[in-house]
């Protein structure tokens, strides 16, 4: 995903957002279908090696979506107050996406039986369908737009924003005001948040075991995961509603500080809280709710509203890649640390990271970003051509 974020983020500024998005979706299609059809090469290559290769391809495609989707939503909306809401709405669909795999797993388990190996193939291959449908919509609306222009006797222009030369992108980056401070705010806070978010996602079975007991099969795990995702889902849409009113900085700051409090409560009270299953579930689910009504949404939104249009997609990709580096650190650190230091220490550690992230947000994020100010550099975006999402 880091490779995809850096690659397609820069291509978004060089090739145009629409062309780069078509390339990243195609990469997703190939990776998803290849994952589902993975097979073992007898006496040569393990199925896990084959699957790893296809998951890498899929990761590159998925990574590219981050900077391109955010930049497309931002560039399609002129007013900054509405822009934040548009980008947040795009990101909120991630919450819906998180719900689909466990629900689909339950459905497939009921149809085929929990032990049927077709389940994992169908789950991995299902990602092909939304990407394929998006490619269909993209072609459909592009053709409709061309037909409208022909009917109006106008010259058909490119459907992507103006393309830039590599030098133009680099010069735009060098000319970006307060670049270091902005990168601390967008990339630094995203890195720290993803240490929390993805570390906790993989740490989730520990909490679910404490709350529900050991899950003996995949179906029980799917039920537990659905419950957590349902608790966290409303946070996405609360962010969509408030982001234009409160601004991304306030939403990110309050999300981090509430997460810090919740982590400290769970960590310092672990021995007693883990015996009160409902309380543990509510507190842990609360960390995900305020992650979504907080930095999970705003770290996606802020880069698309912070940087100038000529280097927006590139620096958005850099910020997203920093986040995925944090995800890698969280995913690799949490399990060995929990085994050596204890679950309560991990929660306290999360609280410290959330508190540091809160302070970084206060220092590095401009309070005016996303508060209804027009961006004069975006006034001619519509003239550059319609962006097809």
313 pLDDT band, cuts 50/70/90, is very high
Helices H / strands E in the chain, number of each: 16, 0
Q: What is the rounded CA–CA span in Å between residue 213 and residue 23?
A: 44
Tokens of 310: 């000529």
What are the pLDDT digits (tens) for 184-209? 999 999 999 999 888 776 666 766 67
Is 333 within 8 Å of 198 (Cβ atoms)?
A: no
pLDDT of residue 379: 44
Is 119 within 8 Å of 112 (Cβ atoms)?
A: yes
pLDDT of residue 245: 86
Tokens of 15: 């090739």
Q: What is the rounded CA–CA span in Å between residue 316 and residue 300?
A: 8
CATH of domain 2-153+165-363: 1.20.1250.20
The residue count of the chain comes to: 389
Q: What is the rounded CA–CA span in Å between residue 372 and residue 360?
A: 23
Mean pLDDT of 58-78: 91
Q: For residues 122 and 218, which has the higher predicted lDDT (pLDDT)?
A: 122
pLDDT of residue 138: 81
> pTM above 0.85?
no
Is 385 within 8 Å of 157 (Cβ atoms)?
A: yes
pLDDT of residue 32: 94
Number of CB atoms found within 10 A of residue 374's CB: 12
pLDDT exceeds cutoff 50 at 161: no
Tokens of 355: 């508190």
Q: How far out from the chain centre does Cα 159 lie?
A: 26
pLDDT exceeds cutoff 50 at 376: no
Mean pLDDT of 8-25: 93
Mean pLDDT of 122-148: 84
């Amino acid at each position: 995903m880091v490779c995809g974020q850096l690659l397609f983020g820069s291509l978004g500024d060089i090739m145009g957002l629409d062309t780069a998005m078509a390339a990243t979706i195609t990469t997703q299609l190939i990776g998803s279908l290849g994952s589902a059809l993975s097979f073992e090469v007898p006496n040569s290559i393990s199925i896990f090696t084959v699957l790893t290769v296809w998951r890498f391809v899929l990761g590159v495609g998925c990574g590219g979506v981050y900077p391109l989707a955010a930049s497309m939503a931002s560039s399609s909306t002129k007013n900054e107050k509405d822009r934040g809401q548009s980008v947040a709405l795009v990101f909120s669909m991630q919450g819906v996406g998180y719900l689909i795999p466990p629900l689909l797993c339950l459905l497939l388990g009921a149809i085929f039986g929990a032990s049927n190996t077709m389940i994992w193939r169908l789950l991995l291959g299902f990602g092909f369908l939304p990407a394929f449908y998006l490619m269909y919509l993209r072609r459909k609306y592009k053709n409709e737009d061309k037909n409208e222009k022909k009917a109006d006797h106008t010259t058909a222009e490119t459907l992507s924003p103006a393309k830039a030369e590599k030098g133009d992108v680099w010069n735009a980056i060098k000319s970006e005001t307060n670049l270091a401070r902005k990168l601390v705010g967008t990339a630094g806070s995203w890195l720290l948040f993803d240490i929390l978010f993805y570390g906790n996602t993989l740490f989730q079975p520990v909490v679910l075991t404490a709350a529900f007991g050991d899950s003996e099969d995949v179906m029980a795990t799917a039920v537990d995961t659905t419950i957590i995702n349902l608790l966290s889902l409303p946070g996405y849409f609360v962010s969509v509603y408030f982001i234009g009113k409160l601004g991304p900085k306030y939403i990110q700051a309050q999300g981090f500080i509430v997460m810090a409090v919740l982590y400290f409560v769970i960590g310092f009270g672990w021995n007693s809280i883990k015996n009160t299953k409902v309380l543990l579930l509510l507190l842990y689910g609360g960390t995900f709710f305020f992650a979504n009504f907080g930095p999970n949404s705003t770290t996606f939104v802020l880069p698309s509203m912070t940087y100038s249009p000529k280097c927006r997609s590139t620096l958005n990709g850099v910020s997203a890649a920093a986040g995925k580096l944090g995800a890698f650190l969280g995913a690799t650190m949490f399990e060995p640390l929990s085994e050596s230091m204890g679950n309560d220490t991990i929660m306290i550690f999360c609280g410290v990271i959330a508190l540091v992230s809160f302070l970084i947000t206060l220092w590095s994020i401009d309070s005016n970003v996303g508060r209804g100010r027009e961006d004069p550099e975006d006034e001619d975006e519509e003239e550059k051509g319609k962006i097809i999402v």
